[in-house]
């Protein structure tokens, strides 16, 4: 079963705008990751945030984590057409007791030039 649920399911914006995607999860976690997937391709790791961290930055990406609300957000600033992809959050399985990664349903981002 899925641990993370992304919101919104689809997002369409203009180039230069910011894109915010949210992820909610059900059980306690040790770490949360975000991945990007271009259509029909493999996933690319974007950022990892640990349960004791609240915010992390990587280039134009900003990830926040609120463990009290069991939620995370991914902000892409100054979006580009090349950012068009699906974005998935992924957490430890079942409260960190298992070693596998469980992916959310994903947000499909479309950035129009």
Partner 1 sequence: DTEVTQTPKHLVMGMTNKKSLKCEQHMGHRAMYWYKQKAKKPPELMFVYSYEKLSINESVPSRFSPECPNSSLLNLHLHALQPEDSALYLCASSQEFSGARHEQYFGPGTRLTVT
Q: Which residues of this protein are in contact with partner 1, per CB under 8 A?
A: 2, 29-33, 35, 40-45, 48, 88, 90-93, 96, 98-106, 108
Rounded to 5 degrees, φ, ψ at 82 are -70, -10
Rounded to 5 degrees, φ, ψ at 93 are -75, 130
Rounded least distance, CB 35 to partner 1, Å: 8
Rounded least distance, CB 91 to partner 1, Å: 6
Q: Tokens in use for 45?
A: 């790791």
CB of 83 or CB of 106, closer to partner 1: 106
Rounded least distance, CB 31 to partner 1, Å: 4
Cβ atoms of 104 and 4 closer than 8 Å: yes
CB of 78 or CB of 82, closer to partner 1: 82
Residue ranges with strand state E in 8-106: 10-14, 19-25, 31-37, 43-50, 55-58, 61-66, 71-76, 85-92, 101-103
CB of 100 or CB of 113, closer to partner 1: 100
Rounded least distance, CB 16 to partner 1, Å: 27
Q: Which of 83, 78, 80, 81 is nearest to 34 (CA)?
A: 83
CB of 17 or CB of 55, closer to partner 1: 55
């Amino acid at each position: 079963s899925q641990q993370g649920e992304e919101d919104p399911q689809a997002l369409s914006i203009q180039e230069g705008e910011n894109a915010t995607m949210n992820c909610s999860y059900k059980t306690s976690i040790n770490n949360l990751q975000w991945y990007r997937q271009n259509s029909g391709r493999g996933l690319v790791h974007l950022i990892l945030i640990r349960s004791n961290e609240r915010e992390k930055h990587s280039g134009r990406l900003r990830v926040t984590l609120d463990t009290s609300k069991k939620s995370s957000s991914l902000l892409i600033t100054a979006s580009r057409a090349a950012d068009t992809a699906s974005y998935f959050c992924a957490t430890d399985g079942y409260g960190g007791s298992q070693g596998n990664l469980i992916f959310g349903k994903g947000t499909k981002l479309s950035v129009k030039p």
